[in-house]
Amino acid sequence: MYTRKKGAMLIDNLQIANTSVILDYNQSGEELALVAEFKVALNNYLSQLKSSPVRSLADVISFNEKHKKEEKIQEYGQLIFLESESTNGINSTVRNAISTMARLSSKGIETLMKEKHLDATVTEDSGLGPILAIGGYPGISVPAGYDEKGVPFGICFGGLKGYEPRLIEIAYAFEQATKVRKPPSFKGHQFQIISDL
């Protein structure tokens, strides 16, 4: 279905190939890549801090154990941290998982965009986010509305590598056309402010 409004032409109900596999944490290989890359990246970042008692993922885990109440370990645990800490860097299995994810994403979003000659893809909220991230594609989210309790939700525009300027233009045009953004009220919700340790 084609619709045109405010200069944009929308094509409804397009399907990205491989979506179910890409979004399956185990089948796509994302779990392997995530836990290995997380440790490498976090250790690199923490080791370069000028002043911090926490210098590695192992230090983060230890800190969390020493401050279980403040870090809400009972509620949230730290399973991903522990899984990540048990890895030994980016090995051939992880590299294969990364290649599989890139291939799946390329055959999905890239093929769809090229075959349909799309400037961007669009979904409500961030449903497209993982597919874009796995393939290394850019995306931008902007406010799109509010639910009955005043909680905001967004719309996500995604594109191919190098489409960043185009996506910014599209997102800006959407914001200007809708003028939907307002400070959220969060009716019926209470938030607790947590002070620094």
Query: What's residue 184's pLDDT?
Result: 58
Count of alpha carbons within 13 angstroms of residue 105, beta-carbon side: 26
The string of DSSP letters for 116-129 reads: HT-S-EEEETTTTH
Q: What would the pLDDT profile of 81-116 be if each residue is shown by its tens digit?
A: 999 999 998 999 999 988 888 888 888 888 999 999
Q: How far apart are the C-alpha atoms of 22 and 20, rounded to whole Å? A: 6
Query: What's residue 167's pLDDT?
Result: 96
Q: Taking residues 47-59, what's their average pLDDT?
A: 94
Query: What's residue 188's pLDDT?
Result: 59
Write out the residue range of the structural domain in which residue 151 sits: 118-180
Confidence of residue 147 (pLDDT cuts 50, 70, 90): confident
Q: What would the pLDDT profile of 38-51 be if each residue is shown by its tens digit?
A: 999 999 999 999 99
Shared domain for 128 and 85, answered yes or no, is no
- The pTM of this model reads 0.69
Q: What would the pLDDT profile of 151-188 be if each residue is shown by its tens digit?
A: 888 999 999 999 999 999 999 999 998 888 876 565 65
Number of domains in the chain: 2
Please indicate whether residue 71 or residue 12 has the higher confidence score (pLDDT).
71
Shared domain for 23 and 85, answered yes or no, is yes
Shared domain for 101 and 172, answered yes or no, is no
Shared domain for 140 and 172, answered yes or no, is yes
Tell me if 158 is assigned to some domain. Answer: yes
Closest CA to 160 of 117, 96, 191: 117
The DSSP bridge partners found for residue 2 are 11
Shared domain for 22 and 100, answered yes or no, is yes
Of 54, 87, 108, the residue that ends a domain is 108
Tell me if 4 is assigned to some domain. Answer: no
Confidence of residue 196 (pLDDT cuts 50, 70, 90): very low
Shared domain for 125 and 100, answered yes or no, is no
- Where helices occur in 48-163 by DSSP H, the ranges are 57-66, 73-76, 79-85, 92-105, 111-116, 129-135
Query: What's residue 130's pLDDT?
Result: 82
Shared domain for 150 and 122, answered yes or no, is yes
Of 108, 140, 166, the residue that ends a domain is 108
Confidence of residue 2 (pLDDT cuts 50, 70, 90): very low
Tell me if 189 is assigned to some domain. Answer: no
